[in-house]
Chains A and B, each alone.
Chain A
Amino acid sequence: MGSLVFLALVVLLVGWLISAYNGLISLKNQTLNAFKQIDVQLKRRHDLIPNLVNAVKGAMDFEKSTLEAVIQARNQAVKVNAAGPEAIRQISQAENALSSALSRLMVVVEQYPQLKATGNIGQLQEELTSTENKVSFARQLYNDTATHYNTKQQQFPTNLVAGIAKAQVADLWEIEEQTERAVPQVDLSTKPKA
């Protein structure tokens, strides 16, 4: 009788071990996959930007600096090819810079109604909005999945299996405070700038 109870306990324990291990592995892969999704969307954005700049270049001779900032940020972001634990931080820094350059461009386009009226600028804006949304939704999915993964591997009793499953805390994709703040400042007042 006693040995039967013992056997049942062992079976239960092994069953739990397997399910906890598999749960962690599946979360790990989901996190990796979500990260790849961000990559895909960033790549899409990099490919889109040259077309975008070409489309508005003619109409926006007077806003050269804004366009140049976008191109520069884009080239910077494409160049980042980091690996290892620093990767996410470096990529996210470059991409955040690109994001803020793009939103400045959008604000500028918004400021010139005659620009909006000509041809496909409206459509272009839609594409740009969508691209930015796709990047940020991919980031959101990654952060949600990674948070879930991190919580799981730190919580008791799953944390006992975390070592076996080689689970490591996944970095979240942070939005840097200063770049975020720098984005939507449009001064439409008539007072001279300092």
Chain B
Amino acid sequence: MSDDASRNLFQQQEANRRRTFWLVFGFVLFFAWLGFGGDYVLYLYTLEASPGEYHHSFPWFGIALSLVALAIAWYAYKTGPEKVLWATGAREVVDPQDPKHRQLVNVVEEMAIAAGVPRPRIWIVDDADPNAFATGTEPSNAHVSVTRGLLEACSRDELQGVIGHELGHVKNLDVRLMTTLAALVGAVALMHDGATRVLRGGIRVGGRGGGGSRGDKKGGGGVLLLILLVVWIVSWILAPLITQLLAIAVSRKREYLADAMSAQFTRNPLALASALQKIESAAAPTAKIKRGAAHLCIADPLGRRFTGREGFVADLLASHPPMAKRIAILRGMGYAQIKKDGGVAS
């Protein structure tokens, strides 16, 4: 088992490194498309203009947007963990006085030893709903964050299971992919809001000045221009949606794996199962954790309907696998272990 597990781990790490690269690459490529597409549309638009007027011949927009996208991606990768923690309003546990905080620090230290990773920095989100997430770019630069509600609801063993799950994400580098994604989702949302405002203004101005003199002048170029324009505008509109779907698709399968890693670290899958049960039964959404960081959490903080279901639609729309199935798998592991040890379930 150990042999398989570590080969899997290596593959997971490699896959996550690769996926992070492609994510960033795709992000830049998408912006390049938006920029150069805009350039081309503008080029076709000004092709017919009389010699004295402006001709768009140099792809300024494309170059500028590509550079901006590169800068954003770099910035997102570098400061992603900080941004995620800042967005949830987490406070770092530095010198714990409260016994519950002391226990959290101890549990995190224990699980870091079990997982064989450096001790991550520990944060608490002041929210009554039990939830937890991990962020970071690699094991030596990792953060584990839990809500106040989790500390209050969980026993020591259950807390251990949850932290084990988060350190599973840290160890197989899920955190790198998911944090970069979270930062990019945030950046796209921001850019989109800004660009929509500018674009709306632009269209209004264009409508007033242009009139109806374009379409009848030239047939072929006009149609091409129109198609390009439509595709281009549609990509602008879809940008935040695509990044959202990406975030969702990326996180669903990983939760099962992190559950299994937690069981491997704690050797106590039943404790994690009972922790998940508690997290699930506390129905209130985690108010402090917004859409952008939802896919980082151990349980969907938004309490979305699709999370409870399996199938194609759920695969598309839910960021987390159904809790009942996760609990069932963990219980299966737990009872198999008890049976092997020849004991009885307590």
Q: Whole-angstrom distance between the alpha carbons of A138 and B116 in the complex? A: 8
Which B residue's beta carbon lies closest to that of A138? Answer: B113
Q: Are A137 and B3 in contact (CB under 8 A)?
A: no
Question: How far is B114's CA from A12's CA once the two chains are assembled, in angstroms?
Answer: 37
Query: Is A148 within 8 A of B2, CB to CB?
Result: yes
Task: Report yes or no: A137 in contact with B113, Cβ–Cβ below 8 A.
Answer: yes
B325 at the interface (CB under 8 A from A): no
A151 nearest CB neighbor, chain B only: B3
Interface of A is mostly: helix
CB-nearest residue of chain B relative to A148? B2
Apart from A137-B113, A140-B267, what 13 extra A-B contacts exist at CB < 8 Å?
A37-B113, A41-B113, A126-B99, A126-B106, A129-B156, A130-B106, A130-B110, A133-B106, A133-B110, A134-B109, A137-B110, A140-B114, A141-B114
Question: Considering only CB atoms, which chain B residue lies closest to A143 in the complex?
Answer: B2
Tell me which of A126, A137, A141 has the highest count of chain B C-beta atoms within 10 A of its own C-beta: A137
* Residues in chain A near residue B3, CB distance under 8 A: 148, 151-152
Interface residues of A (CB under 8 A from B): 34, 37, 41, 122-123, 126-127, 129-130, 133-134, 137-138, 140-141, 144-145, 147-148, 151-152
SS class, residues of chain B in contact with chain A: helix
Find the A residue at minimum CB distance from B100: A126
B103 in contact (CB, < 8 A): yes
Tell me if B125 counts as interface (CB < 8 A to partner A).
no
Give chain B's interface residues, CB within 8 Å of chain A. Answer: 2-3, 6, 99, 102-103, 106-107, 109-111, 113-116, 156, 265, 267
Q: A151 to chain B: which residues have CB within 8 Å?
A: 2-3
Chain A to chain B contacts (Cβ below 8 Å), 30 pairs: A37-B113, A37-B116, A41-B113, A123-B102, A126-B99, A126-B102, A126-B103, A126-B106, A127-B106, A129-B106, A130-B103, A130-B107, A130-B110, A133-B110, A134-B109, A134-B113, A137-B110, A137-B265, A138-B113, A140-B267, A141-B113, A141-B115, A141-B116, A144-B2, A145-B116, A147-B2, A148-B2, A148-B6, A151-B2, A151-B3
Chain B residues with Cβ below 8 Å from A130 are 103, 106-107, 109-110
Q: What is the distance, in angstroms, from A134's C-beta to the closest C-beta of chain B?
A: 5
Instruction: Please give the distance in Å from B140's CB to the nearest CB on chain A.
Output: 14
Contacts A129-B156, A140-B267, A148-B3; is A123 near B99 (CB within 8 Å)? yes
